[in-house]
Chains A and B, each alone.
Chain A
Amino acid sequence: MLLAGFWFAFLALPISGPWNAVLIGGACSFMLLAIKLFQTAMTTGPAGEMVARLWCALGRMWGQAAWLVGDRKKILVMILLLLSLPWVLDRYTTDVLVVTGIYVMLALGLNVVVGFAGLLDLGYVAFYAVGAYTYALLNSWMDLSFWPALLAGGALSMAFGVLLGIPVLRLRGDYLAIVTLGFGEIIRLVLNNWDNLTNGPNGILSIDRPTIGGMRLYQPMHFFYLVVFLCFMTMFVVGRLNRSRLGRAWSALREDETAAECMGINITYTKLTAFAFGAAWAGIGGVVFAAKQTFVSPESFTFFESVIILCMVVLGGMGSIPGVILGALVLTVLPEALRELTLYRPMLLGGAMVLMMILRPQGFLQMHGQRLPASAVLPGDVRRGREKTHLGGDT
């Protein structure tokens, strides 16, 4: 351990200078120790047993919480609590929750692509940008109001999703990831440089707020309800898609593309619908974002944003809707809560990514396989999916 500390200090020396290097060396060896202890605790001995059981219980609780057939009354109470939040919280916190809500939508959308269909999309932010700029441009050119823009943004993003999907149909794994990254960057660069269309780095200002029956929505509280509504819509649609023939096709595609094709699944269609639906939600989120900020610029749509959304999906537990929501919550609220550490945000996130992968490649939660509409399930015969226990290092 000490040697490791020296090694890291050595590495840090030319970048951080001698004093900091020592600190870094110490911090690193401490962390390595902690990780080693954590790993051994998770896999051996009575403490490990307890921890593992606790872990699984938590996972099971969360997975079954209010989602599928939970206690109806409890769900209602939770929803009411949720809806009453803006009255008890201050404007700032409500605003944070609005941003969280938008990210929940984005994460759920990306979850369709990455979690359900297993297509690694590193350029997801491009669809977000398309949605935002669609509203911004249509609003400044022809005064298009918010609600039709929602449709337009979603539809245009969907189209872009299909456009992205077509060339990458034959790509898998790493290559697919890089190409999608390329697409994301292309969109950002185009937005940044096509001054005549998009006003370049200056962005587009004075975007209209949404109105409902004459009332203008401008307070964080208004947006809160809007976003909560949209989130529930997203969860509803995504949930239904997941537990359908198409959802099964997506999962089969993710598990084993060749075998899936041999089952009669049209891979092209399955991939394109995944991209399309994933993109649609990003587009809708983008429109909301534009309306909330009243201003869009290419700065908001960087590769780092794509990475954050990806982390929400992956670290939250791929394919699992509650997990993804949790991921979005954590990754939006935590940085806000730890504002002094904004400078270190990418480092912390990057480190977390590496750590999570090493400690638990599947993310915190695991998908409970229930891709059948509840009413189609036959009584008696079918038992609910059992979570497989995974400790520390995986297969």
Chain B
Amino acid sequence: MFTQQLVNGIVVGSVYALIALGYTLVYGILKLINFAHGEIYMIGAYIGITTLAVLGAMGITGMSITLTLVLVFLIPMIYCAAYGITLERIAYRPLRRAPRLSPLISAIGMSIFLQNYVQVAQGARDKAFPSLLALGGFNFMGAYISGLQIFILATAVGVMAVLQLFIQKTRMGKAMRATAQDRTMASLVGVDVNRVIAATFAIGSALAAIAGVMVGMYYGLVNHYIGFIAGIKAFTAAVLGGIGSVAGALLGGFLLAMLETFWAGYVSAIYKDVFAFAVLVVVLIFRPEGILGSSDSSDRV
């Protein structure tokens, strides 16, 4: 039982971690909570469905499973990156120097807007995500591990490894880290801050898209509301691990998922979401910098 919980938690953790990365990357650079990020994840799932439908109609699904698999991730990634960039351009960039309240309101507005837009366009009922991989599974230490779970975990870890490499080794990655530390200085040494910010949103959104498709594949159902809850939980994960830190998002994602799964399994399944919110509240009160974060010096006078 215990190991089964563990295994289930890992998948959820991967999803949280991927979405949390988007929050943490954006917060690191703009000190802004991208409220609409959860909606991007949800849109990723929906685009995955559309992609599969199109691919199916074109006959590709039957032909090559690998191609389908690649495309079902790639297309939503591209689209979500586009959504992310547009989101930033419309709702955040004009407000870069406005008082803190304005971009927050704008973010909430975009979140509601996107949520409702998908609801209107795609219907309020759950939508089925066609099953793709008929991977078997195997038993291990009393738990059943499905091939899908392994696939999801592998994909998530792989993606995060690539991201880490990207941030550490590439020019754009360095530019992102510089902008996160000190935006003015970065622009003074020649970094195109707008492009860096756009790239950050693009990457975060693409990761969210991956999470969305994975969730669709795993649970088989999506609806326009999944962004809201997943968004808050992923944000909790980001904060738990240390907002602004990539490793923190990873750690937070898995840790939160574990905590949640065990709570649901052993204490109360109904109040699972309440527990997640409670974790958020507790972390923000007692250790707002998270596990891996460093103390933010209080406001400089």
Q: Taking beta carbons and an 8 Å cutoff, which residues of A are in contact with B?
A: 7-8, 10-12, 14-17, 20, 120, 122, 167-168, 170-171, 173-175, 177-179, 181-183, 185-186, 189-190, 193, 258, 303-304, 307, 310, 314, 343-347, 349-354, 356-358, 361, 393-395
Contacts and interface: CB of A to CB of B under 8 A. Distances in A.
B144 to A, nearest CB: 29
Contacts of B278: 182, 186
Contacts of B285: 167-168, 170-171, 179
B169 interface: no
Contact of A357 (B43, B50, B83, B102): B102
A15 B43 contact: yes
Contacts of B284: 171, 175, 178-179
B274 A189 contact: yes
Given A11-B79, A14-B46, A182-B280, 6 more contacts: A174-B31, A186-B274, A314-B101, A349-B109, A357-B102, A357-B106
Contacts of B273: 185, 189
Given A167-B285, A186-B278, A357-B102, A350 B46 contact: no
B26 to A, nearest CB: 11
Interface in B97-119: 97-106, 108-119
Contacts of B113: 346-347, 350-351, 354
Contacts of A343: 120
Given A170-B285, A357-B103, A182 B232 contact: yes
Contact of B102 (A16, A352, A361): A361
A358 B108 contact: no
B297 to A, nearest CB: 13
A11 B109 contact: no
Nearest to B271: A193
B91 interface: yes
B283 to A, nearest CB: 10
Contacts of B51: 14
B95 A361 contact: yes
10 contacts: A14-B75, A15-B118, A15-B122, A171-B284, A185-B232, A189-B277, A350-B114, A351-B113, A357-B109, A395-B97
Contact of A307 (B82, B86, B108): B108
B109 A258 contact: no
A303 B228 contact: yes
A185 B232 CA distance: 11
Interface string B250-294: 000000000000000000001101100110110011001000000
A11 B271 contact: no
Nearest to A187: B274
B94 interface: yes
Contacts of A346: 112-113, 115-116, 119
Given A189-B273, A303-B228, A358 B106 contact: yes
B32 interface: yes
B90 interface: yes
A191 B113 CA distance: 27
Interface of B: 31-33, 43, 46-47, 50-51, 75, 79, 82-83, 86, 90-91, 94-95, 97-106, 108-122, 228, 232, 235, 270-271, 273-274, 277-278, 280-281, 284-285, 288, 299, 301
Contacts of A190: 271, 274
Contacts of A351: 109, 113
A15 B46 contact: yes
Question: Closest 10 CB pairs between A and B?
Answer: A353-B109, A350-B113, A350-B112, A346-B116, A14-B50, A182-B277, A347-B116, A354-B109, A350-B109, A357-B106
A6 B277 CA distance: 40
A15 B121 contact: yes
Contacts of B110: 350, 354
Given A14-B46, A15-B47, A344 B116 contact: yes
Contact of A174 (B32, B82, B97, B115): B32
B50 A15 contact: yes
B105 A14 contact: no
Contacts of A258: 299, 301
Given A120-B101, A175-B284, A353-B105, A358 B274 contact: no
Contacts of B118: 15
Contacts of A177: 33, 104
B116 A354 contact: no
Given A15-B117, A178-B33, A304-B112, A361 B100 contact: no
Contacts of A193: 270-271, 274
Nearest to B118: A15
Given A14-B47, A349-B112, A361 B98 contact: yes
B288 A175 contact: yes
A106 B116 CA distance: 24
Contact of A183 (B102, B109, B270, B281): B281
A358 B94 contact: yes
A185 B277 contact: yes
Nearest to B298: A258
A357 B115 contact: no
Contacts of A173: 100-101, 104
A269 B283 CA distance: 23
A168 B94 CA distance: 29
A347 B273 CA distance: 26
B43 A347 contact: no
Contacts of A16: 121
Contacts of B235: 178
Contacts of A361: 95, 98-99, 101-102
Contact of A358 (B95, B119, B120): B95
A274 to B, nearest CB: 15
A278 B75 CA distance: 47
A341 B128 CA distance: 27
B83 A11 contact: yes
Nearest to A200: B270
Contacts of B122: 15
Contacts of B104: 120, 173-174, 177
A284 to B, nearest CB: 26
A356 B105 CA distance: 9
B95 A357 contact: yes
Q: Which of B115, B117, B122 has the most CB of A within 10 A?
A: B117
